[in-house]
């Protein structure tokens, strides 16, 4: 990375965190090195720090990437008010969403997406729209008849990429480990690890697809660049929820990430995502990471006791209601009932 680009990253990171650019920002900050000579990115970088910044930009901001001083002050107050709800629940002795939602802090960004200029996902292709229309999840459905009615996160498989690199309402832990020739990212949700070799080994054969793809990394100056291909197309591009509509991925998904240290406890994260089968254009997200080595990553049990999916089906499926009439002694869906109409079981 050139000195000019590093200096620009420092200034941008300071703006996104809501702080003034540090004195002498034109001089690049030099990160420490590991004992084997790579820039040292090790630490815990929880994504809850940017959880209050919308993924897609609210339309009222248009092409404006940053909040005004007045808007930023309001956003800070709103974030602080939400954080206080935890103490309120403690005081009244009644647990609610504040005890499991990681609200995060306000940044000056109007969205995590920075390209296109409107901060919103590009339109899907016709093929992408067709796939999206058939996507199902625990957010979108009311009747669950088989495992195909759940997405990869519902099934405790993965959030996928790029979704795993975005903040979530809870379990936002992300930790970086390094060893000679490798960078490893540990993600709290679904307890996944991204193992990124730094040598010049070739990409995996194109016929092999993984949930998190196949990553190859290298350093450009102090910036870690990660190139990921070989996806299986089985996970959503973003996790479906109250504010996110279903967006599919395909085996053509290609992601290039850049992690640039901008200070002792900050990294500027950037990812360019393209998937020509489902999106009409590439898009890019960029936001600061803040080190918090006191953040604890807990076990992500996902479905405690592995009973939730059976409960969804048992409580809503007409097919299981018929099964119960024929087998009144049954308390759980029989494995054959779960699999009967699931195309992945055939």
Assess whether 235 and 279 both reside in one domain. yes
- Please indicate, yes or no, whether residues 227 and 324 belong to a single structural domain of this protein: no
Please state, rounded to an integer, the average pLDDT across all residues of the chain: 86
Examine residue 335 and state whether it is found in any structural domain, yes or no: yes
Q: Please say if the pLDDT value at position 241 is more than 90.
A: no
The span from the CA of 77 to the CA of 25, in Å, is 28
Residues 327 and 233 in one domain: no
The verdict on 227 and 336 lying in the same domain is no
- E-only strand ranges, the chain: 43-44, 113-115, 174-179, 182-187, 192-197, 214-220, 223-229, 254-263, 266-274, 283-290
Confidence of residue 83 (pLDDT cuts 50, 70, 90): confident
Q: What is the pTM of this model?
A: 0.85
Cα-based angle 194, 196, 199 (whole degrees, multiple of 5)? 170
Q: Which two tokens mark 20?
A: 């003034």
Q: Looking at the structure, tell me whether residues 173 and 268 fall in a common domain.
A: yes
Domain range for 339 is 304-345
pLDDT for res 340: 54
pLDDT 10s digits, 92-105: 888 888 877 887 88
Measuring CA to CA, which residue among 241, 172, 240, 15 is closest to residue 106?
15
Instruction: Please work out, in degrees rounded to the nearest 5, the angle formed at the alpha carbon of residue 161 by the alpha carbons of 269 and 42.
Output: 45
Write out the two tokens for 132.
Answer: 């999206």
Q: Are residues 137 and 258 in the same domain?
A: yes
314 and 174 housed in the same domain: no
Tell whether 203 and 322 lie within a shared domain.
no
Bridge partners (DSSP) of residue 266 are 263, 290
Tally of domains within the chain: 2
Instruction: Provide the pLDDT for residue 30.
Output: 87
Within this chain, do residues 276 and 143 fall inside the same structural domain, yes or no?
Answer: yes
Mean of pLDDT values over 268-274: 98
Which pLDDT score is estimated for 346? 41
CA distance 207 to 251: 9
Same domain, 272 and 155: yes
pLDDT, residue 20, reads 41
What percent of the chain has a predicted confidence (pLDDT) above 90? 58
State whether 285 and 313 are in the same domain. Answer: no
What is the three-class DSSP state of 255? strand
């Amino acid at each position: 990375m050139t000195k000019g680009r590093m200096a620009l990253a420092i200034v941008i990171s300071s703006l996104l965190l809501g702080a003034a650019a540090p004195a002498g920002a034109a001089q690049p900050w030099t990160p420490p090195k590991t004992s084997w000579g790579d820039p040292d990115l090790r630490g815990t970088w929880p994504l809850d720090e940017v959880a209050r910044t919308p993924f897609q930009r609210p339309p009222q901001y248009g092409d404006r990437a940053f909040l005004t001083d007045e808007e930023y002050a309001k956003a800070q107050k709103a974030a602080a008010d939400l954080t206080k709800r935890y103490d309120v629940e403690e005081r009244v002795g009644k647990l609610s969403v504040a005890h499991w939602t990681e609200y995060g802090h306000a940044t000056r960004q109007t969205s995590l997406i920075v390209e296109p200029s409107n901060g919103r996902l590009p339109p899907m292709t016709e093929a992408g729209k067709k796939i999206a229309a058939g996507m199902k999840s625990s957010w979108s459905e009311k009747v669950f008849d088989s495992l195909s009615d759940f997405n990869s996160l519902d099934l405790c498989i993965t959030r996928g990429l790029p979704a795993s690199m975005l903040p979530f309402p809870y379990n936002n832990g992300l930790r970086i480990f390094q060893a000679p020739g490798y960078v490893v990212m540990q993600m709290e949700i679904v307890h996944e690890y991204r193992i990124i070799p730094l040598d010049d080994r070739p990409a995996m054969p194109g016929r092999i697809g993984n949930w998190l793809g196949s990553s190859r990394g290298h350093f450009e100056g102090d910036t870690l660049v990660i190139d990921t291909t070989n996806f299986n197309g089985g996970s959503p591009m973003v996790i479906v929820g109250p504010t996110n509509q279903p967006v599919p991925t395909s085996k053509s998904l290609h992601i290039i990430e850049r992690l640039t240290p901008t200070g002792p406890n900050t990294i500027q994260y950037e990812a360019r995502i393209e998937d020509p089968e489902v999106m009409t254009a590439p898009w890019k997200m960029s936001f600061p990471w803040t080190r918090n080595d006191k953040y604890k990553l807990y076990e992500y049990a996902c479905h405690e006791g592995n009973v939730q999916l059976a409960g969804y089906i048992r409580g809503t499926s007409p097919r299981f209601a018929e099964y119960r009439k024929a087998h009144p002694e049954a308390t759980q869906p029989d494995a054959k009932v779960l699999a009967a109409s699931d195309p992945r079981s055939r």
